[in-house]
Structure 1
């Protein structure tokens, strides 16, 4: 059961602040702070997608009528060692530049994050654990203040567009085709591909990729666009897996491959499909974000490592012990983030 906390009135350095949970009428404040901190162009449609349709929650710190800090998150269904769990994906952690570093011990960042985690995460709360992809500075602050564990990094992988087909690839065995999310068969195809992925028995943690999640995360998102490519055998009509790609990019750029819904052992075949689309788009090549588990599955494709591209944080307010965090073995890709 969620812990419902009353608004707190804080006196910090002789100034009065209000710390409270996000309410629907706070939309304009959240949008204004998001644009200020991230230089984004988010609008009411984005807020509705994330905090209404996506059932997002958050905590903000106000000085008079101005929102100066915010920490939010959205629910994520996860399989942890094969067991279903409800985790909270942390995102939109932001502090107005004018207020950063004002308080040395309990900063605005600490105030909003600590209340958010304390009221949502852990035994008897709505979510057993949380995770997020903070920038290195936020992760260092969270670890130093005891708010989060450092759960490692996600690396980037690249492939040049002139790469030939790998030895395991047979163009007579596979067929690629676009998948229209507006078709009557889209949800069924995604659900079946997810069941195949789930049946692979991931030993660590993996976010559920059923039709409900894929439709909310990629199809309904108003500020970005994605494409869906289905992989199937030539003699079968039903897709075995679905790749999520970004919209076409410039000729001097690598096409981002966001996600894969399908068996782990077919990931190299999915890579060949994504490379084919990158060449068709005229992109320089293909790129993706990959945790160690994803990178291991893609090793046969001989990627070029780009080094770390994101940090991973797991709040200490959790049912996970520190030994569990060290052994999570998460399956993270770019689609698991909330900003790509």
Structure 2
């Protein structure tokens, strides 16, 4: 068990010229937001409400952030991750989804920005990687990815290949007699559903109610659709999915999360009928998903449900501290969805 004292922020500092390299302290929010909104110019500006949701309200509730900041309170480099609970070979581990990593635009052309980023990245490893940490993953911009690979022992796991289904394509599979409906939040029944599903996964984010409600129902900016599939008579929960409009492109309906037993083809088909209907109703051109190969869902969506593989410009990076979990093993065994990508 990791105690609050072991993970308390601000305990480590290093001097880098006029900047201090340290972990997050309360009060840094304004500087972090200013860096984020300048580094990701063109994206929707990040609000303080969103920052608090991302770093303070997630189920682990602890901001894993290191930064370079000067005496005037200007932040020029940051390395951060969102803490996650994962299951690896049936055992719980900690993991981190790399997010908001950035260098200030005016520090990118010289050596100073790169050195600062390496310094905050190394401090992040010292401060937040513990014996319970199994893996870290992320989708950094190419220049930062190159720095991470060269100096922080990060590797490239895989290209991100989405599954894409044209909205006008007719459904060639039957619609089972199961009930689907949207909910505002998932109930505790999702925990029992996860218990039935977890044996399908060698490595995956733990998709219980606490995680799914934080990730989707509590999101301050995006209106996610939470869908349940139930037995008509017993009302037993058989599966859930989450979708949103847009994501990679405004013409898409994106399947963000997907939880049902791999062998339950009835629930699979019912959810896809519901989501295909949402796609057409909302006048979107494509229904897309991400369930990386070589998992059974990746192949079945193409063979049975009319999805096509679509290459994207994104690459997934990783760092593993789990024995035996090298690049090939992770690529073969890690179940992920679009909800495991930080910017969707």
TM-score by length of 1: 0.86
CA distance in 2, matches of 1:135, 1:239: 39
Taking the TM superposition and a 5 Å limit, the aligned residue runs for 1:97-136 are 97-103=105-111, 107-123=115-131, 127-136=133-142
Pick the aligned partner of 1:52 from 56, 60, 74.
56
Structure-2 residue corresponding to 1:36: 38
Structure-1 residue corresponding to 2:258: 260
- Encode CA deviations 1:41-60: one digit per residue, 9 max, x unaligned: 22121121122212222000
CA distance in 1, matches of 2:116, 2:269: 45
Q: Does 1:202 align with 2:201?
A: yes
CA distance in 1, matches of 2:214, 2:97: 14
Pick the aligned partner of 2:241 from 225, 240, 243.
243
CA distance in 1, matches of 2:78, 2:335: 28
SS in 2 for 1:115: helix
CA distance in 2, matches of 1:297, 1:7: 50
- Encode CA deviations 1:198-252: one digit per residue, 9 max, x unaligned: 14x323x110110000111111111222011112344442231111011489x98
Q: 1:156–1:175: structure 2 CA closer, same or farther, 3 Å change rule?
A: same
Structure-2 residue corresponding to 1:137: 143
Q: Which one is further off, 213-222 or 282-291?
A: 282-291
- Encode CA deviations 1:163-208: one digit per residue, 9 max, x unaligned: 1223xx3225333222232xxxx32232232222214x323x1101
Pick the aligned partner of 2:299 from 296, 304, 311.
296
Q: Aligned Cα RMSD in Å? A: 2.5
CA distance in 2, matches of 1:104, 1:278: 47
Q: Does 1:164 align with 2:170?
A: yes
CA distance in 2, matches of 1:100, 1:41: 20
Structure 1 unaligned segments of length 5 or more: list them: none
Structure-2 residue corresponding to 1:334: 338
Taking the TM superposition and a 5 Å limit, the aligned residue runs for 1:60-79 are 60-65=67-72, 66-79=74-87
CA distance in 1, matches of 2:123, 2:246: 41
CA distance in 2, matches of 1:144, 1:195: 39
SS in 1 for 2:336: coil
Q: 1:31–1:106: structure 2 CA closer, same or farther, 3 Å change rule?
A: closer
- Encode CA deviations 1:288-330: one digit per residue, 9 max, x unaligned: 23321352342322312111343222236x2445x53320121
Structure 2 unaligned segments of length 5 or more: list them: none
Q: 1:105–1:48: structure 2 CA closer, same or farther, 3 Å change rule?
A: closer
Report the Cα offset of residue 107 of structure 1. Answer: 2.2
Q: Does the CA-based 8 Å contact 1:268-1:297 persist in structure 2?
A: no
Q: Does the CA-based 8 Å contact 2:97-2:340 persist in structure 1?
A: no
Structure-2 residue corresponding to 1:271: 272
TM-score by length of 2: 0.85
SS in 2 for 1:274: helix
Q: 1:295–1:268: structure 2 CA closer, same or farther, 3 Å change rule?
A: farther
Structure-2 residue corresponding to 1:190: 190
Q: Does the CA-based 8 Å contact 1:264-1:297 persist in structure 2?
A: no
SS in 2 for 1:164: coil
Q: 1:248–1:57: structure 2 CA closer, same or farther, 3 Å change rule?
A: closer
Structure-2 residue corresponding to 1:85: 93
Report the Cα offset of residue 268 of structure 1. Answer: 4.6
Q: Does the CA-based 8 Å contact 1:154-1:290 persist in structure 2?
A: no
